[in-house]
Chain A
Amino acid sequence: MTSFIEQFGKIIVNYIAEIGEMVLLTVDIFRQMFKKPFEEKLILEQMVKIGVESIPVAVTTALFTGMVLALQAGYTLETKIQGVSQFIGSVVSISMVRELGPVLTAMVIAGRMGSSAAAEIGTMQVTEQIDALYTLAANPVKYLGVPRFLAFTFMLPLLTMFADLVGWVGGLVVCATRFTTSTVYIDSTLSSLNSSDILGGLIKATFFGAIIAIVACWQGFGTTNGAEGVGKATTNAVVFSFMLILISDYFLTSILTVLGF
């Protein structure tokens, strides 16, 4: 029994220590962000890598999510409740924009780019490239952390906007071919979707972007033990990001709802 309590205590202490490390890193990133020189070139490079090059995956995910949403909504509304298939547009657009657009895009980006950022920084850590940065008078958090943080936080809402739109179009196609007409779908969307729904989703996406960046950098900079360590950091970056995205999603949504989003 004591050993169980001991173990449990250790886990809790570990968690708190890890959160502390992430908070410290975040503070450091913000401090370095406003120090000259600004790394425009690196920031732009990361934005292209994280944002532009992720469009295909984000869009594909969103398209099929929108389609399956329309299918499920149509099936439910037609067979279970019967005769209310004119609401498919509302269901698809609101779930997409408020929830699935931001969350699924964040997960895809965490899997694709969060992992690669952790692996890249982790490899640099174990091959002394991070030490080399210090000796060349370049702060690694500024040189590697800040560009990734800015790129993730700016590009995630943009990608989410794409995803929202594409998902909605996917729903439109399914709805028009299987259930009602496209006019009904569009009318239903327009009558229920507010700009605050869209904005709320994008605010969440911004937070998710920050989470992915901080977790990836934290894991990357903390890498030890060579190739094995890099593998561990990469996996951890994805697992932690997923958990934190889902946990923070609930709380962010609660707060945003109170604020009227």
Chain B
Amino acid sequence: MESKELIQLKNVNKSFGDRKVLVNVNLQVYAGETLVIIGRSGVGKSTILKLMAGLAMPDSGEVWIEGEEICHLKEDELNELRKKMGVVFQYAALFDSLTVFENIAFRLLRDFKMTRAAAVEVVRQKLELVGLKDDLLDLKPAQLSGGMRKRVGLARAIAVNPEIILYDEPTSGLDPVTSEAINDLILDMQKKLKMTSVVVTHDMHSAYKVANRIAMIYDGKIIEIGTPDEIKKSRDPYIVQFVTGSVEGPMPVR
């Protein structure tokens, strides 16, 4: 599985006000792998995702995507790079004012200048991939359930066949059955579409299922990175506490 690095964080520091969220973080994501980032809420997991998507800039350090350092890119260049990347947001972040079709076809119609008929074809295909029927094309996001919204968000992210897909808490707030379906989808995306994925989650079941490698982040640092088996066997007290979900351990319960 290990091949060229598609995403790289080099000595990244990021603070919000006085709070240091990331401290000298180094992280590589290899082509074709699924890297899962775990850690407690508010430790900077989502910030890593935002840095990779170019939604936030590091205070110092470098973010490399496909051999380009993105912090120095102009907006147009960054947008060009973003065509190779899909982001699935925690609460899907579908556009309320647009229909399901318009949401999924957003980039197809705007950037790729596809005709409506051609876009409908692509959207149908993507909906099928995420396990939804095409009878909800004309619905607004408010009419969908939480699970459906996440799937539509995923369909929107993969609409332009990106090479990289970033998931922010893909299973949070979903019932176990839907969560499992989303996990299968993430695995599917990797197998069928050969996508490189970064998943941020605190759902250990999901992490073990979809990950090739798991990175545990605590206090702004990556304290361990390894295969799911290595993480399961780890003796690191922080990791043991986190994966077992225990209140006893080195991490204070705030």
- By a beta-carbon cutoff of 8 Å, the part of chain A in contact with chain B is 37, 120, 123-124, 127-129, 131-132, 134-139
Contacts and interface: CB of A to CB of B under 8 A. Distances in A.
A151 B34 CA distance: 45
B75 A132 contact: no
B84 to A, nearest CB: 11
Given A129-B96, A136-B106, 16 more contacts: A124-B96, A127-B91, A127-B93, A128-B89, A131-B53, A131-B55, A131-B89, A131-B93, A132-B94, A134-B55, A135-B53, A135-B82, A135-B85, A135-B87, A137-B111, A139-B75
Chain B interface size range? 20 to 34
Nearest to A131: B55
15 contacts: A37-B110, A124-B96, A127-B91, A127-B93, A128-B90, A129-B93, A131-B53, A132-B94, A134-B54, A134-B55, A134-B82, A135-B85, A137-B82, A137-B83, A137-B111
A212 B55 CA distance: 28
Contact of A132 (B54, B79, B95): B95
A137 B107 contact: yes
Interface of B: 50, 53-55, 75, 79, 82-83, 85-87, 89-91, 93-97, 106-107, 110-111, 156
Interface of B is mostly: loop
B79 A137 contact: yes
Contacts of B106: 136, 138
B89 A138 contact: no
Leading 5 A-B pairs by shortest Cβ distance: A137-B79, A128-B93, A132-B93, A135-B87, A128-B89
Nearest to A120: B97
A128 B88 CA distance: 11
Which of A37, A120, A137, A138 has the most chain B CB within a 10 Å cutoff? A137
Contacts of A128: 89-91, 93
Which of A37, A124, A135 has the most chain B CB within a 10 Å cutoff? A135
